[in-house]
Amino acid sequence: MAYQSENLIAQAREVREASGVSQRALSERAGLTQSHISQIESGKMEPGLSSFIDLTRALDLEVMLVPKKLVPAVLGLVKAQATPDMHIHAGQPNDKRFARAERLVKKMKRLYGSSADLDRIEDTLRFLRRVNLGDQEMQFVRELIARLERYQASAQAAPIVRDIAQNLQRLRNSIAHPVPSEPRPAYSLDDGDADA
């Protein structure tokens, strides 16, 4: 029934998936049943306000009231930082993550044909796998992989794949050629220029 809460729920789902949290894990953390979460996310059921708050809290999100006029501003703020830390992350050691990601890329190449971007992703993943990544960095990679998984079959996957390739490349560069001072760059997801 296309409610107005669709958007919020979709948002929560995106965060959940990007954090690598399963419906089951979330259900324990939030105190709802998995079936409940499934029905909420698929729009078959409208959650109560407190259920929804429980859900989002478990995802390290907060429900806030914002005057309509400020919505664009807040949106800008949120998008800029794009899921800041998100310390949730469930199990699965990094090695497995990388293995899974590389398998995914291979599968995509097999299905949709090879491409410069996919090659670049594959290459960068191989590199990053051997590096010791910090929490934030690993989180960043995890997000990109989740995005790749989600859009692998999308009709307009190409620009997204390109964006992911660029972001991975940039992370690689920042590790290979660290900036002198600057403790940490604090990644943002905006698609920026690609360097050489």
Partner DNA sequence: GGAGTCTATACAGTGTTGTGTATCGGATCA
Partner DNA sequence: TGATCCGATACACAACACTGTATAGACTCC
Contact between 175 and a copy of itself per CB under 8 A: no
- The Cα 152–Cα 162 span in angstroms is 12
- The Cα 159–Cα 179 span in angstroms is 28
Report what 162 binds from a copy of itself, DNA, none; CB cut-off 5-8 Å by kind.
Answer: none
Q: Of 14, 1, 79, 75, give the one whose Cα is nearest residue 41.
A: 14
Residue 93 identity: P
Neighbouring residues of 179: CB distance < 8 A, sequence distance ≥ 6: 185
Contact between 174 and a copy of itself per CB under 8 A: no
Residue 118 identity: L
- The Cα 64–Cα 57 span in angstroms is 12
Contact between 57 and a copy of itself per CB under 8 A: yes
The position carrying tokens 């899974």 is 100
Contact between 49 and a copy of itself per CB under 8 A: yes
- Closer by beta carbon to DNA, 49 or else 196: 49
Contact between 183 and a copy of itself per CB under 8 A: no
> Could you say which residues in the range 15-74 bind DNA, by CB under 7 A?
17, 22-25, 31-36, 38-42, 44-48, 50-51
- Closer by beta carbon to DNA, 14 or else 123: 14
Residues near DNA (CB under 7 A) are: 17, 22-25, 31-36, 38-42, 44-48, 50-51, 90, 96, 99-100, 103-104, 107
